[in-house]
Amino acid sequence: MRTLGAELGSSRRRWSLLAAPVWALGLLPLLLFLAAAFYFPVLYTIVESLQGKAGVGPTLANYTSFVASRAGLDTLALTLFLSIAATILAVGFCLPLGLALRRRFRGKQAILFLTMLPIIIPTLVGALGLLILYDRTGWLNFFLVHVLHVVHEPLLIDYTIPGLVLFYVWMFFPYGALVILSGLSAIDPALEEAGRVMGAPPLVVFRRILLPLLRPSLLAGAILIFVQCFGAFSVPLIAGGNYQPIAVRIYTVATVFLDWNRASAMAVVMGIIQCVLVIAYQRANRAGGSTTL
Amino acid sequence: MTAAPLPRLALEHVRKSFGSFLALADVGLAVPAGMFVSLLGPSGCGKTTLLRLIAGSIVPDQGRVLVDGEDVTGVPTWHRNMGMVFQSFALFPHMTVAENVAFPLEVRREPEGLRRRRVTEALAMVHLDRHAGAYPRQLSGGQQQRVGLARAIVYRPRILLLDEPLSNLDAGLREELRFEIGEVTRRLEITSVYVTHDQREALALSDRIAVMQAGRIVQFDTPEVIHRRPASAFVAGFVGYANSLTLEMQGGLGRLAAGAGALRPADGRGISGPAIAFIHASDVVLCTSAQLGENRLVCHVAAIAFMGDHTEYVLEWGQGLKMKAVAPVGAASLVRGDEVTVFLPAEKLVVVPADAEAADAPAR
Amino acid sequence: MSSVRAGAGALRAVLLLAFVLFIILPFVMVGLQAFGSGWFGMRLLPPTWTLRWFGWAIKTVDLVQVLVNTVAIALIATVVSLALAIPAAWALARHHVPFKSALIAAILLPRMIPEISFALGVAKVFYALHLINSYLGIALAHVILAAPFAVLVLASTFETMDARLLEAARVLGCNTPQLFRKVILPLAMPGLVAAALFSFLASYNDFVLTLLVYGPDTVTLPVQTYLSIGGGYISVASAISVILLIPSLLFLFGLVRLVRPENLLGGLKGA
């Protein structure tokens, strides 16, 4: 708040058209472009979402039919369940990974490289590979049934909810891993050494020292993963089978049922939820002390 | 005299390397109970490695660590019952001062009453009883390190380890806290191992100093002996001898290489051949008369620096050979270019064979 | 103690190995699917190796044209993205801008909300402007995603550029073109390259927005991958995926060197 006030004050001093603000010339093209190609479409989407079937409006019918209908609530519940389950698993996966990556060892750079792989490559390729790997006749089942003999029948993973959660974890854990890794690297290793010298075994050091200090990063990482899961489109589109979370549902309603007004309402709801989540992430991140723009 | 009691801490033939870097090469050390020992040396000499090895954070490749005669080489850090003060303070930022100090008692499952009494006691000892509820970030650096000290002694560890505890503090605070560390360790009669690269800290605090160089202890003695009788050129340089003169020793007399005269050091009898003589700047006597003879050199004043309570002179006594001397303000009225005779008292000269100089090179 | 340490080390090694397999096996699968034939029904490896699927992709879905489309669109998007982002980033980094944080938020918003939530609107607006099924239209849609991130990378580059250095160059007698060529450009180069690579990659890899604005003449690799998967041609889709994957992997190698991983956070988004 204080910085905003300061900016207001100083801008009043400097803001004069004659002084030809250089920053305005620099920012203008980008802002015009975003206004035309992004903000206008967003506005258009909001307007569409308020229009009824035969062009009547403004109406909230598209929103009520989404939020109040069984199908709409199912979509939201499915999206939330997938996102929450995947977030919990991914954070539980990032934490030991981060701890294992604390020490220096040969090949660490390669592991970091792999950590970033799922978010750099096109999502569809990852989803395709996951579908093949976890297929009834894929490698996982091949090893479980024919090599390890731990199960008799191949496991059904593709196109199931647990399978979808697994795919989400693979696809989106890097966001959490990056936050948690930078959080861990901000903790002075001497703190752990101090704890051990003072008589705390590793588990106590972890519980009493590392975990409390890491909590803001864990929270920020969790929100970031959740945001990604909530907005996931490509993975559930090709690997979701009959399960359609909100992003896929919007696409289906728009392009299959051709009900753009209802799809627009869903898109607006989704955008608002996502904005709230992003703000929560920035709060958590600030609490964690790391500064990302 | 009866048989010497078991030392509180003993290191036997300890060796540790990191990759191809030999951090500790066959170190042995015995510290009697209650003694304050400093490990003194430049960065990279292995002093911190040695400290962490005593703490158990590092396992030696070879050798043993004994506490009261018991081999603790394989005992995990958290069972060694040692205290440690860190260069970076290492206070837990999410705990208050009192919680920080109580932490070691808590993991030892000490009863609540005892815990509270000990914490109060320890905080009083470092004059922080009024800050018990504060968080570390609300304290100054000096106060933070005092918390670190209180936390390290509150559970009466068998050995207190201090890893350059003053090097993150401002000069003024440093002296104050140094005094406090000496006070507390003496009062508790706690066996202490103190790592530092600052010879003044080591001299002021220690009962014994171990000077380390390239993974070895090169001299282990009392501060007086280390200061007055350094065992090698390296030690002499490290404990702050400002002047070194290259000599050719023969029958107790040392000819100066530059042909500028001869020195007869008090303890030069056993040495012959190339040698180096060391003398503190404060031991160089500026003479008023131009009388010549042994231990006297004719110099030119190359530079003068007024230092407040004393004056520092840089004297040139031959081709590019310089020496430092200090004199009380007003004691000598010299100006640049003046010729002056200096007297180097025999008993203040420290002579070591020049081949010891070879070890002075930054070795691995 | 040493056995505890050895145990912990072994545990760590096993965990890391599991992690490595977890991450790379999907890619191995795509590779096996793309270069193998007759690979179904519980087999470790395909019985025969073949380039047939690539041939199929070239013949049936005109892979060469799809590749040309994708690269052309990505190049246009990169140029436009940089042209918009460089002056904006310079203004944000080196000038006093009122409401700066609000402006930055407004610029980054497209990266913060899911693509699908504004893709519908973009499709409608672009349709009205006849920007559907054209290189320029698709490239502009990609710029919505690429430019904000380019601003992010470039602004942090420009910010770290020491003003005293520019001043010193001035004092030493640099004129403006010289200042730009000899001082600013070399200092900004890593950021410029990173921003260009990211813009290219964002466009090359984009699927969601493309799906709503592409047309029969402007099919891109991700869209074609999707269409092939949808048609059940898993091997052809895998072959296309292998091609699709190449720039990402090359860029990842380069990018790790150019920008710190935590900088990627604000910019990357997989929908």
CA distance A161 to chain C (A): 18
Dihedrals φ, ψ of B260, to 5°? -90, 5
Domain C62-269, CATH: 1.10.3720.10
Percent of chain B with pLDDT over 70: 95
CB < 8 Å to B75, chain C: 1
Q: Is the residue at A55 inside a domain?
A: no
**Cβ pair C137, A37 in contact under 8 A:** no
Nearest residue of B to residue A198 by CA position? B104
CB < 8 Å to C16, chain A: 100, 111
pLDDT digit string (tens) for A13-65? 444 444 457 778 889 999 999 999 999 999 999 999 998 877 677 888 889 88
**A95 pLDDT higher than 60:** yes
Q: What average pLDDT does this structure show over A118-132?
A: 93
For residue A87, the number of C-alpha atoms closer than 13 Å in the C-beta half-sphere is 21
Rg over CA atoms, chain C: 23
The Cα A140–Cα A132 span in angstroms is 10
Res C2: pLDDT:
56
In this structure, are A4 and A117 located in the same domain? no
**B359 pLDDT higher than 50:** no
Structure confidence at residue C5 as a pLDDT band (50, 70, 90): low
CA distance C15 to chain A (A): 8
**Average confidence score pLDDT of chain A:** 86
Structure confidence at residue B207 as a pLDDT band (50, 70, 90): very high
The Cα B52–Cα B39 span in angstroms is 12
Query: Which ipTM value was assigned to this complex?
Result: 0.87
Which of A2, A4, A28, A120 should one mutate to test binding to chain C, selecting the residue with the greatest count of C CBs within 10 A? A120
DSSP string, chain C: -HHHHHHHHHHHHHHHHHHHHHHHHHHHHHHHHHHEES--SS-SS-SEE-SHHHHHHHHHS-HHHHHHHHHHHHHHHHHHHHHHHHHHHHHHHHS--TTHHHHHHHHHHHHHS-HHHHHHHHHHHHHHTT-TTSHHHHHHHHHHHHHHHHHHHHHHHHHHS-HHHHHHHHHTT--HHHIIIIIIHHHHHHHHHHHHHHHHHHHHH--HHHHHH--TT---HHHHHHHHHHTT-HHHHHHHHHHHHHHHHHHHHHHHHHS-GGGGTTT----
How many other C-beta atoms lie within 10 A of the C-beta of residue B138?
Answer: 12
Res C4: pLDDT:
63
Q: What average pLDDT does this structure show over A244-271?
A: 93
How many other C-beta atoms lie within 10 A of the C-beta of residue B47?
Answer: 29
Res B300: pLDDT:
86
In this structure, are A91 and A193 located in the same domain? yes
Q: What average pLDDT does this structure show over B240-250?
A: 85
Res C259: pLDDT:
55
Hey, is A210 helix, strand or coil?
A: helix
Peptide bond into A58 cis (omega under 30): yes
Whether B76 and chain C come into contact, CB under 8 Å, resolves to yes
Give Cα separations from B331 to A189, A249, B137, C131 (angstroms).
53, 95, 49, 93
CA distance C91 to chain A (A): 4
Q: Is the residue at A124 inside a domain?
A: yes
Q: Is the residue at A56 inside a domain?
A: no
The Cα B126–Cα B147 span in angstroms is 8
In this structure, are A170 and A213 located in the same domain? yes
Q: How far apart are the first and last CA of chain A?
A: 17
In this structure, are A160 and A255 located in the same domain? yes
Whether A280 and chain C come into contact, CB under 8 Å, resolves to no
Structure confidence at residue C54 as a pLDDT band (50, 70, 90): very high
In this structure, are A203 and A267 located in the same domain? yes
Q: Name the domain count of chain A.
A: 2
Task: List the single range of A134-138, B335-339, C132-136, C234-238 with lowest mean pLDDT.
Answer: B335-339
pLDDT digit string (tens) for B114-148? 999 999 999 999 999 999 999 999 999 999 999 99
In this structure, are A138 and A251 located in the same domain? yes
Domains of chain B are: 9-228 (3.40.50.300), 242-360 (2.40.50.140)
CA distance B309 to chain C (A): 41
In this structure, are A107 and A174 located in the same domain? yes
Res C40: pLDDT:
76
Is B76 close to C1, i.e. CB distance below 8 A?
yes
Whether B79 and chain C come into contact, CB under 8 Å, resolves to no
The Cα C194–Cα C204 span in angstroms is 15
Which of B49, B52, B54, B57 should one mutate to test binding to chain A, selecting the residue with the greatest count of A CBs within 10 A? B57
Q: Which of A138, A274, A293 is nearest residue C113 as measured by Cβ atoms?
A: A274
Q: What average pLDDT does this structure show over C46-70?
A: 92
- Please list the residues that pair with A239 across neighbouring strands: none
Task: List the single range of A32-46, A98-112, C95-109 with lowest mean pLDDT.
Answer: A98-112
CB < 8 Å to B65, chain C: none
Q: Is the residue at A9 inside a domain?
A: yes
Res B358: pLDDT:
46
Nearest residue of C to residue B59 by CA position? C2
pLDDT digit string (tens) for C167-226? 888 888 888 888 888 888 888 888 898 899 889 999 999 999 999 999 999 999 999 999
**Average confidence score pLDDT of chain B:** 89
Res B238: pLDDT:
86
In this structure, are A1 and A97 located in the same domain? no
Structure confidence at residue B317 as a pLDDT band (50, 70, 90): confident
Q: Which of B82, B94, B108 is nearest residue A197 as measured by Cβ atoms?
A: B82
**B357 pLDDT higher than 50:** no
Domain with A202 in it: 66-287
Structural domain boundaries in chain C: 1-50, 62-269
Task: List the single range of A10-19, A217-226, C126-135 with lowest mean pLDDT.
Answer: A10-19
